[in-house]
Amino acid sequence: MSPDAETRDHSLLPVEWTSPWQRLRRDLARDLPAVLAATTLRLRELWRRNRDGDLSVPGFWPSPLVSLFWPLLLVLLLTLPVALLLIWPRSLPAPDLADQRDAPITLERQLEEVMDPPQPPLSPLPPVVPLAPEPQPESGVQAADLPSPGVDPLLDLIQQDSSSHWVNRLHPVPEQGLIELFPSPDFNDLSLEARQQQADAWLAQLQEVGYERLELHDEEGRLLGRSAQVGSGMILWIAPQ
């Protein structure tokens, strides 16, 4: 009896055991060339049938383009996974800022905060409100006849004494610190000394409220007197200028 027969008789298995991986490696090395050759022949046959228009295509596909249906479908199936892989990372949600703040601060992050501290957010500028245009005086109306916001308090100030009937109207020019006073005809009937005293009193009253200059005009707009540019008091003219 041969040694192999003796070994098989003492074994509990019905046949000799061989590792499946060894059989696969041995069979693959033996059968792989035949499989590749058969696959190549099959692909050549499909290519020829597709070129001749023997492969079935959907009814909506035009007849002159029958040979292009299956190649285009194959290219589409191959490019679709690649396109999905390129688009998928862009569609992922951005990481939550709260999760980033809750994460432990590393040494690199601490160095970045020290070297480049965060800038405080800029406060938004207040909205620009356009200024309303100033109303233009109507034609034929002189500027001296228009009411001014500061006229009534000035009239009340001047009319506190007995000279109230000597003031006809006022025209303040705040940007020049000037008051144009139009006295009544009764004021012109006073003597020159009395007019001088009353004009000085008017100037003193107006200087108390912030006006430095005073001019007296008649109803025709002619200058009757003005405050002195050098010194103090009023300068009156005998004849209107």
* pLDDT tens-digit series, residues 16-72: 777 888 888 888 888 888 888 888 998 898 888 888 888 888 888 888 888 888 888
Q: Which of 202, 152, 206 is nearest to 178 (CA)?
A: 206
On whether residue 217 sits in a domain, the answer given is yes
Does the structure show a pLDDT above 70 at 236? yes
Does the structure show a pLDDT above 50 at 144? no
| pLDDT tens figures, 172-208 | 888 888 888 888 888 888 888 888 888 888 888 888 8
Domain that holds residue 194: 147-236
Those residues whose C-beta lies under 8 Å from the C-beta of residue 180, and which sit 6 or more positions away, are: 144, 170, 171, 172, 173, 215, 217
pTM: 0.36
Residues above pLDDT 70, as percent of the chain: 64
On whether residue 188 sits in a domain, the answer given is yes
User: Domain tally for the chain?
Assistant: 2
12 and 86 together in one domain: yes
